[in-house]
Amino acid sequence: MTLRRRVLFGGLAAGAALSPSGPALAKLLTVGRRPVESFTLANGLQVVILPSRRAPIVTQVLVYKVGSADETFGHTGVAHFLEHMMFKGTDKVTPGEFSRIVSRNGGRDNAYTTYDSTGYHQTVAPDRLDLVMRMEADRMVNLHIAEKDLVSERQVVLEERRSRTDNVPAALLNEAVNEQLFGRHKPYAMPIIGYADDIRRLSINELTAFYRRFYAPGNAVLIIAGDTTPDVVRKLAEKHYGAIPNRRVEVRRRPAQGGTDLPQRVSRGDARVVEPRWSREWLAPSYRKGDTKYTYALQVLARLFGGSETSRLWRAMVADNKLALSAYAGYSPASLGLTSFGVGVQPVPTRAVMEIEAAVDFEMKKLVDDGVTADEVERAQNQLLAAAIYAQDSLASGPRIYAAVLSTGGTMADIAAWPERIAAVTPDDVVAAARLVWRDSGAVTALLTPAEGSR
């Protein structure tokens, strides 16, 4: 089971480009349209088929349009806990047997929870697609949540919380940053896994109510990728999912604002930290919230400024001035609510943190004041477009992109148009996007250091 903050591969998704679409630069890569078909069952389940003959395997991903951001303060961790409980069986499949059946048939399976979605996936031989569809459809409506399973799984989730968050100083700092950036007790400020006290209090009634509220065919997307055909998928989808009655699911809402008292600084000293880290996060628009017209330029900005070892920030901080061991910038717009744009640096041990912060500020100001070149933008665009080309060959990243987009309000047309929208970004668009996001009134600066006297 995994937790995902955002989908890192920016999204191939929705929103309007900052500039009107125009002819792409001659040197930009061309991303061909991958074979894809989609249809919707009478009960509202959207089905997407991504056929590929590259390997004799097929992947099923069933993603529900619900995540931890659909919880309320005091009742966190429900979405992730339910993800675990989905493996506890039905009348037809005993607890733990789902994964054992997949394994016995030569496949593998897993699940994940994000702020906005929960997904279940299996990879099997094509002739086992019927089997995993039958089992996945069964647990969409027939899940058993027993007290004995709840008690045992609670310890598993609490241990996951301890090992991945409470024992990881950077993860604890990240929780504190999100609370400041998005506003305490707000959807994206609360951790996906939940707070430990909430996990300890979770009851069968809460889990059952959440399951019945959100787990319905009209609130899900079924993605089948690999060595199969649309005709085969349609017949199997109708057979296994078609008879499930749909239920009305309420419209999900996200705040239009983040934290109300920004800028903020958050720091954590911890004896487990070996080297300090400096970072800054800004509130940023997503495909669904905020100034959505800037989302494509922000993807190019993140790549140009700190997305690789040829980026501006890396060259300035690592290669040229020897101030840092690494540097990055990151942005992912596939979110139902606001998202964040971040930069970060791991300083060289002999450099003071204030020197690092001043150097990063200098590079940001230089970009905003002096602009960026067409060559820089083209290089960043080509890096993004190349990643899209590689994603088409993957039975993992391809379905994940469709899952992230379609579960947060995007459409198939948005995914198809993403390369053109990235190619339409201009140098002026990149600078305008930086000016929009790089504002003190939307920032949280974070510092992770060794505890005083621990070294």
Q: Give the active site residues.
A: 83
- Distance from C-alpha of 403 to C-alpha of 340, rounded to nearest angstrom: 20
Q: 354: which residues sit within 8 A by CB, 6+ positions away?
A: none
Of all residues in the chain, what percent are helix, strand and coil, respectively (each to 5)?
Answer: 45, 20, 40
Q: Measured between alpha carbons, how far is residue 424 from residues 19, 113, 284, 293, 378 in Å?
A: 7, 33, 20, 12, 10
Q: 251: which residues sit within 8 A by CB, 6+ positions away?
A: none
Contact 238, 114 (CB under 8 A): no
| Long-range contacts of 358-367, Cβ-Cβ distance < 8 Å, separation of 24 or more | 359/316, 359/317, 359/321, 359/323, 360/278, 360/280, 360/313, 360/317, 363/305, 363/312, 363/313, 363/316, 363/317, 364/305, 364/434, 364/438, 367/305, 367/312, 367/431, 367/434
Contact 91, 85 (CB under 8 A): no
**Would the CA dihedral through 386, 13, 42, 84 be positive or negative?**
positive
**SS3 (DSSP) at 193:** coil
Q: 31: which residues sit within 8 A by CB, 6+ positions away?
A: 385, 388, 389, 392, 419
> What per-residue string of b and e applies to 80-98 under the rule 16 or more CB within 10 Å gives b?
bbbbbbbbbbbeebebebb
**Would the CA dihedral through 220, 337, 357, 307 be positive or negative?**
positive
Q: Measured between alpha carbons, how far is residue 252 from residues 58, 61, 317 in Å?
A: 31, 22, 42
Q: At 191, list the tokens.
A: 């951790």
Tell me the backbone φ, ψ of residue 31, rounded to 5 degrees: -100, 110
